[in-house]
Structure 1
Amino acid sequence: MTRLIIWLTMLVWAGTSQGQNFVQVSKTDPHYFATSDGKTYVPIGLNLCWPRFIDDEAEGLAKMDMYFRRLSENGGNYARIWLSAPFWEIETQQAGQYDEQKLKRFDQLLTLAQHYGIHLKICLENFRKLTGYPAMFPGSVPFDRPIYASANGGPLADMNQYLDSETGRQLFLKRAKKLAERYANHPAIFGWELWNEMNSVSGKNWEEWTKIMLGEVKSLFPNHLVMQSLGSYDKESQRAIYQRITSLPDNDVAQVHRYIDNGASWKICQAPMDTLASQATQDLLNFQTSKPVLAAEVGAVEANHAGPWKLYPNDTSGTLLHDILFAPFFTGAAGPGHCWHWDSYVEKNNLWWHFGRFAEAIKGFDPAQQQAVPFTTSLPNGLRLYGLRGKTQTILWIRDGQSNWQTELAQGKPARIVTNVTLPLRQFPAKRIDSYNPWKNQHVAGKVSGKSIALPDFTRSIIVKLYTD
């Protein structure tokens, strides 16, 4: 622990010499991101919101160092942090008063992120009521803010007063301004998310509040993206609110949360993960906002989000994580899906290698420069094809629909070997072909035979790159 603290101190003195650029919406194609030097940026990563079950600063920072290192080693460049989690929260004792030691702790987190080349999306708030909403299960965080409640000496009676009154709004803005004084020009920050799943708060006028605060926060952080998030997209009736919020002019990124959830009324939430994640992404793309879309929280839960999914321990191969990563991007999202259960799933099952396989799969394909157009189709033998068609390259992700979480994780059936797959050249013209097996990390040159492309045998999925130049 002592060595980590000394090392962090040395990095702090190094300042911003690591040379990261700010992340922006791509000027080449607004469906994607770019860094301020014009290079396309695909945010490969996951939610790493706080170090669970840890209170000690040195231990928590060591855990974050491990997370960032493992992610970076596997091609990752993005993570999401909840500033409102107790481990990071800077406003701890009294409304409007900030803990300098917690700010220094956050300094160290940003230093780690910059060292590992990771951009952080910072979620500013998550509380839903002022009081009476403690952590729902061990390792979770509170969803209330007692120091704001008048019953505890705070200035507010309830969430409605927080959202509607000048006093409540200034509490949010004062905290944001404190952060802007310190971090407005920090290049390791991807952007600022106003709230986690704000349609879940107990107050009424959160939509109007969102419209106001998107602009206010953008003025404080002109070099960073600003966005809002909504609760898990598990009811068809939520489509309208998702469209309204993602379409707001000051909302830079269209985000969606989606989970396997047996308690959800919408049957898509019990579908195979690739179908579930793709459908949520496609819905946001259908809003035609001309913004980057991110599947910003994806995972699996016990019914009605009662806790992490009981089948996670069975998924030692990471079949869910593979689909979480690939399905959104190959549907047209600006990046892979971002998994939620970083500790009880990704860390516990040692699945970091999947990020590296995704990075390898898309290497050399620049979706913005290619002006990529997403498409999907079905192939014989139960295969689903997700593709991005570009100006000179087309990249395909072919998923075996007969192998999914129901068959592998619930029923214990091993994935089959898929053989004798061909693609018609008429639909997929190519001069050169490269096939990539992400499960074996193997590239194989494709074969053109007559009027078709013959693919190598595979299990679960394969990526195919078609070059027309």
Structure 2
Amino acid sequence: MKNRSRKRMITSVLLFFSMSVMSCAPEVVTTKPPVDTTVVKPAAESYVRISPQNKAYLQLTNGDTFIPIGINTSFIRQEDKEEVILQRYEHYFQETAKYGGNFARVWLSAPAFEIENKKIGVYDSVIAQRVDKLVALAEKYQIRLKLCFEHFRDLTGYPAPFVYSLAFDKPFYAVKNGGKFKDMPDYINSKEGRAVYLNRAAFWLNRYANKPIIFGWELWNEMEHTRVPTPAVEAWMKEIFPGVKKLAPNHLVMQSMGSMSTSWARSIYKTFSAIPDNSIAQVHRYLDMGAELAVCRGPMDELAADAINDLRSFNLDKPIVLAETSAVEPNHSGPSKLFDKDVNGILFHDLLFAPFFSGSAAPGQSWYWDFYVDKNNLWYHLGRFSQAIKGFDPIKENARPYFSNGENQLKIYSLLGTTKDLIWIRDGENNWQTELVNGKAPRVVKTQKFKLEPGVLRVEFYDPWKQQWTKGEIKNNATILPDFSRSIVVRVEKM
């Protein structure tokens, strides 16, 4: 009996121990691992934002790097039927998209799109529906819109000079015409004036706040032309920026000032660009023989690059864009007479390439979309720029701009990356003065040696004038550039 009891007890202990060991053994997983249900939205459903990895550049909320390629198509200069206006814009958007572009700027305060056109606070529903159609066209061609709220400069009731029938005045805002404001300072400084501005802005913000096709909102075109003192304009911006951003949290908000062609203009750019709520530091600069600054009377690539470098010197920690640029007659007295001669678009080429290769988040954005770009059918230059930067991601490469003067009067604009460098070489012997004024044809730069850093794996060349890619040979940390005129792009792949 004792032996049988003892045997049962030992068996129980062994069984308990066996079960304990089994319970501690790793579980065999027979189910499938959990599926990642995160859906990355396509580009068309993504908003533009400042890159959190590199604040000098822009990206979409789906993570794609976004480089705004396009021009100002701000208004139709002559009043016309809605059908004609929309046909013109479809043409502009179609041409932009055809050549790899994705961006345009439009003034909501231009006569064709102005909802508040007779009385303060009364908005024209027919005009609003016209803008809806414009936005639908932008969506069709995937052209992201920067919409500018205001541009007027006076409350006099009289037209400003050189406006091509474009209203730079809001006479019905003035007290003498039944409005609420004595003058521009009264409108800018008063609570009532700011409420009028924000109410009109809110009409658009509420309408399009959930539209990814909206690149962003611009408060006022070249606001210093209102002639309101700088401290008052700064105070106005610091109140209006948050008010706009609150209603459009998914969009960028920015401001613009006039052509940076004087030392005074540089100082106000430093003030306004630094406002924290100002998403992008925009700069306007033109080739202008009446400008105070000598750089604005020189080669287009140099004046464009200098504008970007000036703003970069402010240490802003935000994207910088040359948002308006082109050529004018002295002191902005009209579109440049050079346009008639510039059928090859050398000014357009330079204003596109020089800013981006100087650290801008975008190529330069041309003014005179009608008198210059469209008239001379220069849209294809957008495609040449798109091809030149293809495969180079400035965010992933943590691109750093660097400029140097090379041999044989070559100007070398470089974006240096971690695995790739992208370099635009401009022939310093050729510019708008030599070619368009003096009639000297661009030379052919032949068998030019180009030094490379050690560790280069591959080198390729893109000629934007021939639309041609070629491969280079590397020997003793150098390569020979293919024969070219005006400019060439070098793409370097490193270890």
TM-score in terms of structure 2 length: 0.90
> Which residue is equivalent to 2:91?
66
Alignment of 1:129 onto 2:191: no
Cα distance in structure 1, aligned partners of 2:444 and 2:237 = 49
* Amino acid in structure 2 at the alignment position of 1:106: V
SS at structure 1 position matched to 2:283? strand
Alignment of 1:313 onto 2:335: no
Check conservation: 1:23, 1:34, Cα contact below 8 A: yes
SS at structure 1 position matched to 2:405? strand
Alignment of 1:448 onto 2:474: yes
Cα distance in structure 1, aligned partners of 2:164 and 2:184 = 25
Instruction: Tell me which of 415, 418, 430 is aligned to 2:456.
Output: 430
SS at structure 2 position matched to 1:259? strand
**Cα offset for 1:285?**
0.9
Paired positions, count? 453
* Amino acid in structure 2 at the alignment position of 1:86: P
* Amino acid in structure 2 at the alignment position of 1:366: D
- Give deviations 1:80-132, integer Å, cap 9, x for gaps: 00111101111011111100011100000000001101100011100111125
- Give deviations 1:257-285, integer Å, cap 9, x for gaps: 00011111111110100000000010111
> Which residue is equivalent to 1:380?
407
Q: Which is further off, 132-141 or 404-413?
A: 132-141
* Amino acid in structure 1 at the alignment position of 2:378: L
* Amino acid in structure 2 at the alignment position of 1:53: Q
Check conservation: 2:259, 2:265, Cα contact below 8 A: no
Check conservation: 2:258, 2:265, Cα contact below 8 A: no
* Amino acid in structure 2 at the alignment position of 1:73: K
> Which residue is equivalent to 1:338?
365
**Cα offset for 1:348?**
0.4
Cα distance in structure 2, aligned partners of 1:17 and 1:29 = 22
Cα distance, 1:134–1:17 mapped onto 2, change above 3 Å: farther
> Which residue is equivalent to 1:265?
292
**Cα offset for 1:17?**
10
Alignment of 1:182 onto 2:207: yes
Alignment of 1:228 onto 2:258: no
Cα distance in structure 2, aligned partners of 1:110 and 1:346 = 22
Check conservation: 1:20, 1:117, Cα contact below 8 A: no
Cα distance in structure 1, aligned partners of 2:113 and 2:130 = 7
Cα distance in structure 1, aligned partners of 2:44 and 2:218 = 24
> Which residue is equivalent to 1:201?
226
> Which residue is equivalent to 1:361?
388
**Cα offset for 1:137?**
3.2
SS at structure 2 position matched to 1:171? helix
Alignment of 1:103 onto 2:128: yes
Cα distance in structure 1, aligned partners of 2:462 and 2:44 = 32
* Superposition map of 1:398-417 within 5 A: 398-417=425-444
Cα distance in structure 1, aligned partners of 2:164 and 2:85 = 13
Alignment of 1:22 onto 2:58: no
**Cα offset for 1:241?**
1.3
Cα distance in structure 1, aligned partners of 2:153 and 2:423 = 41
> Which residue is equivalent to 1:81?
106
Cα distance in structure 1, aligned partners of 2:105 and 2:345 = 20
Check conservation: 2:79, 2:111, Cα contact below 8 A: no
**Cα offset for 1:50?**
1.2
SS at structure 1 position matched to 2:45? coil
- Give deviations 1:52-81, integer Å, cap 9, x for gaps: 324210000000000000110000000100
Cα distance, 1:225–1:140 mapped onto 2, change above 3 Å: farther
- Give deviations 1:153-191, integer Å, cap 9, x for gaps: 111110111011111111101101111221111111100
Q: RMSD across aligned C-alpha pairs, in angstroms?
A: 1.4
* Amino acid in structure 1 at the alignment position of 2:331: N
* Amino acid in structure 1 at the alignment position of 2:152: F
Cα distance, 1:461–1:133 mapped onto 2, change above 3 Å: farther
Cα distance, 1:429–1:399 mapped onto 2, change above 3 Å: farther
Cα distance in structure 1, aligned partners of 2:294 and 2:73 = 28
Cα distance in structure 1, aligned partners of 2:209 and 2:452 = 51
**Structure 2 unmatched ranges of 5 or more:** 1-40
* Amino acid in structure 2 at the alignment position of 1:240: S
> Which residue is equivalent to 2:239?
212
Cα distance, 1:173–1:33 mapped onto 2, change above 3 Å: same
Cα distance, 1:136–1:17 mapped onto 2, change above 3 Å: farther
* Amino acid in structure 2 at the alignment position of 1:422: K
* Superposition map of 1:111-190 within 5 A: 111-137=136-162, 139=164, 141-190=166-215
Cα distance in structure 1, aligned partners of 2:470 and 2:375 = 32
* Amino acid in structure 2 at the alignment position of 1:262: M
**Cα offset for 1:18?**
8.9
- Give deviations 1:373-403, integer Å, cap 9, x for gaps: 0000001111000000001000000000110
Cα distance in structure 2, aligned partners of 1:150 and 1:243 = 35
Check conservation: 1:371, 1:391, Cα contact below 8 A: yes
Cα distance in structure 2, aligned partners of 1:381 and 1:114 = 47
Check conservation: 1:18, 1:114, Cα contact below 8 A: no
TM-score in terms of structure 1 length: 0.94
> Which residue is equivalent to 1:46?
71
> Which residue is equivalent to 1:3?
none
Check conservation: 1:273, 1:323, Cα contact below 8 A: yes
Percent identity, aligned pairs only?
47
Greater Rg, structure 1 or structure 2? Answer: 2
Instruction: Tell me which of 316, 330, 346 is aligned to 1:289.
Output: 316
**Structure 1 unmatched ranges of 5 or more:** 1-15
Q: Which has the higher contact order (CA 8 A, sep 6+)?
A: 1
Cα distance in structure 2, aligned partners of 1:36 and 1:283 = 29
**Cα offset for 1:450?**
2.7
* Amino acid in structure 1 at the alignment position of 2:220: W
> Which residue is equivalent to 1:468?
494
Cα distance, 1:279–1:97 mapped onto 2, change above 3 Å: same
Cα distance in structure 2, aligned partners of 1:336 and 1:408 = 23
Cα distance in structure 2, aligned partners of 1:97 and 1:253 = 31
**Cα offset for 1:133?**
5.0
**Cα offset for 1:135?**
5.0
Q: Which runs of 4+ in 1 moved over 4 A?
A: none
**Cα offset for 1:199?**
1.2
SS at structure 2 position matched to 1:72? helix
